[in-house]
A and B are shown apart, each in its own frame.
Chain A
Amino acid sequence: MTVRPWFRRPPLAGALALAVAGGALAVAFTSDDAPASAGASTLTVSVDKHGCGAPPARLPSGPVVFEVTDAATTFVTVYLTDPGGARAYAEIRWLGPRHSLPLSASVAAGRYALRCVFSDGPVVTSPPVAVTGSAPDTEPGYRPMTSTDLEQPVTAYRAWVSAALPRLLDAARALDADVARGDLAAARTDWLSAHLAYERLGAAYNSFGDFDDAIDGRPDGLPGGVDDPGWTGFLAIEHTLWHGSTADRVRPLTQKLVSDVTGLIADFPSEDIDSEDLPLRAHEILENALQFQLTGHDDQGSGTTLATLDANVQGTSEVLSLLTPLLNERDPGLVDHLDQALTALRTSLQAASAAGSGGTGGWTAADALDRATRERLDGALGSLLEQLARIPNLLAARNAA
């Protein structure tokens, strides 16, 4: 599993257009391969620690591009904000000394300013820019968030995980005890409960560091694949339990699981959770679920990847509920929409299983889904992901913006 790069939004994303505005066509390009915004004029702005440029005092509404040069000796983050900082409209995430990048937006009538946040501390704001007139497709801007805003949700997430981990350990111990007794039928049932307890934590994207590989690693990247002696954790145990292994072959794996979960519990309080990770997780737990669970990729024999998907939906709901206050302040309605979509997906998953042949735990194996059911699930998850994709950018820390 890889951690996604922090920079999600290329500085030039979108806003590249040949717009016919008021009958006049205007295109400006700032360099051969970096065309600026359509119908926008390019305004050159040089920023340093004494001033965040000198933009014109008045501008017409519509697309605008500031070509910003960092004339200082340190890196700078540049925002187009309103003068009070209640909304951010556009940003250059990271601009180096003597380098230039475009800052583009489509602005409605109102008051704006450029704000420079230098990497060594200084924050300076330009004189205000008054925008007048009206234009189609202007950007509403978003209330910027600071990294401290995420502290409370991260603390709550920690508390939620901390409370859940002992139950995971209990479940792992129950599984290990079954195997120790030689009761592999019970082990198969308890394996599912334990695995789902883990998957509900939404462990995607490295939240548990190396423990995740040990507890829930895939065989794919191992030299020996499913026969690799280094493969441990839930999927390795599943592979043995559903491929006719004897209890004494399974036991070392369940013992290892118990010790790894114990290790995780001991380690978790000292694990750093990057606050940026929580919004990312709200989106990407289910990206992973699409890639590995709905496809059936992770099925090691139990046919329960839809149960895993269902657990991942629950994990996403939990993360989402922690972020709800921050999201509501920025995009009212988004959370309600997402909640409905998450519930609809869970309902479809239950229905898919109810209609199926009743495999492990009553779940239908992903590869046994009929076409219509699979398409409905694909569509429900796919459209949900398109919406979840807004969260990381919406909740990116924009300190001092």
Chain B
Amino acid sequence: MTTSDPHQTIGRRGFLRNATAGVVGVAALGTAAADTARAATAAAGATAGSGRVIAFEGPHQAGILTPPQAAASFVSFDVIAPDRAALKDLFAVLTDRVRALTAGAPVPATDLASPPADSGTLGPLPPADGLTVTVGVGASLFDDHRYGLGARRPAKLAAMPVFPDDDMAHSTELHGDLSLQLCADSRDTVVHALRDITRHTRGAIQARWKIDGTHSAPRPSGAPRNHLGFKDGIANPDTTNQAVTDALVWTHGGADGEPAWTEGGSYQVIRIIRMLVEFWDRVSLDEQERMIGRRRDSGAPLDGSAETDLPAYKADPQGLYVPMNAHIRLANPRTDATASQQILRRGYNYERGLDTDGNLDLGLVFCCYQQDVSRQFAAVQSRLAGEPLVDYISPTGGGYFFALPGVRNPGDTFASGLLAG
């Protein structure tokens, strides 16, 4: 994990060191033995997860520029809150829970009459463990008869259209009023957070579909690999450069017809894309590499020798190195005209059981963030229509959402701008 993430702050371990000092203070009062302090250090260390706390507050939500954590769930919900006041309550509760969970905050005491306040699946002291929860809203939330938010719909937010190579006619995993992208350094932390959030929001939102993803370790180095065996996540806009993220990732209130409240938000696209891996494994390496445009082993573009080499399409106008219809060349032709179409990809591998014929259901939870979903994702997706890779993949679900602006301070909540007044 890199440390360039602006949200990355003091690690959990630092926090706990202070805590241990506190125990010594208690011991000095004669109420706890030195043994207890040692036990505290041991037990706390065991539950501290990765030790990472990723800051919750800021102008933007965490989980967008944050380098992808190891485990993720993408969950789409429908909002069933009866009215606008209940919708407001929902976002207040979401804010409280996400704030507490991402901080690894103490579990509130359970009173005599209640079931345990926490599921306990992370042990008695749930760690932050690099958790981020990114909240998005879908176009349907803005339908006129719902909460009276029609006039506040982000300018480019619409239901995800059907693209020519899609396989979504019978999909049960499409769209939704609200999306949660939960990412953490371990799987159990993701599940714990989701369970906590659904429990606290029961009656206000109802889960619609869910897909879980993981990030593999680098094999042997560089970007992690997807189920096709290729390194994935090599080329992305520079998230450490604010000029780049301001131009490509964040929406700006007042610009491009966006309502003022959208300042600091971002369009989120989620696509569940199955990979027909049995078929893929029966294809020659040469053909695989020409479809992607990179070497499988090294990740290098076909005109280069290292993963980090930039393809030089101007020097290869006929596609003798990187074919004209290679995935990376179509997705990002690297021309001035297409520079503003770049997307920030943040996908995860998924793996879930078998299909009726015993083939593995493996694929990509494609997720990307951008300032303008039609100028960026939709343009790239249209260019990819009919690419050779489409025979080996099958998009089966997903949706368009708008990731809300960040929660700026302790008094702020998700959607405060959207629901103001």
Contact = CB atoms under 8 A, between A and B. Distances in A.
Interface string A13-55: 1111111000011111111111101100111000000000000
B26 A28 contact: yes
24 contacts: A8-B115, A13-B116, A14-B107, A15-B109, A16-B106, A17-B107, A17-B108, A27-B40, A29-B36, A29-B44, A30-B36, A35-B40, A35-B125, A37-B109, A38-B106, A41-B32, A63-B109, A90-B112, A142-B111, A372-B78, A379-B202, A379-B206, A386-B202, A390-B113
Given A18-B15, A390-B114, A393-B112, A42 B32 contact: yes
A378 interface: yes
B11 to A, nearest CB: 14
A88 interface: yes
A389 interface: yes
A331 to B, nearest CB: 7
B157 to A, nearest CB: 20
A243 B29 CA distance: 75
A379 B114 contact: no
Q: Lowest 7 A-B CB distances belong to which pairs?
A: A17-B106, A383-B203, A14-B110, A25-B22, A13-B116, A26-B22, A15-B109
A210 interface: no
Interface of A: 8-10, 12-19, 24-35, 37-38, 41-43, 63, 88-91, 104-106, 137, 139-142, 330-331, 371-372, 375-376, 378-380, 382-386, 389-390, 393-394
Given A16-B106, A16-B107, A29 B39 contact: yes
Contact of A89 (B78, B112, B204): B112
Contacts of A29: 23, 36, 39-40, 43-44
Interface string B6-22: 00000000011011111
Contacts of A14: 107-110, 116-118
B386 interface: no
Contact of A91 (B20, B109, B112, B117): B112
A325 B204 CA distance: 30
Contact of A137 (B40, B43, B108): B108
Interface in B233-286: none
B124 interface: yes
B84 interface: no
A331 B114 CA distance: 12
A104 B117 CA distance: 14
Contacts of B112: 9, 88-91, 139, 141-142, 393-394
Contacts of B171: none
B217 interface: no
B199 interface: yes
Given A9-B115, A26-B26, A18 B106 contact: yes
B31 A43 contact: yes
Given A28-B23, A30-B36, A393 B113 contact: yes
B42 to A, nearest CB: 6
B25 interface: yes
Contacts of A330: 113
A12 B124 contact: yes
A187 B95 CA distance: 54
Interface string B76-108: 001010000000000000000000000000111
Contacts of B20: 27
Nearest to A385: B202
Interface in B63-85: 78, 80
Nearest to B203: A383
Contacts of B205: 379
A393 B26 contact: no
A393 B111 CA distance: 10
B396 to A, nearest CB: 18
Contacts of B108: 14, 17, 137
Nearest to B81: A379
Interface string B108-145: 11111111111010001100000000000000000000
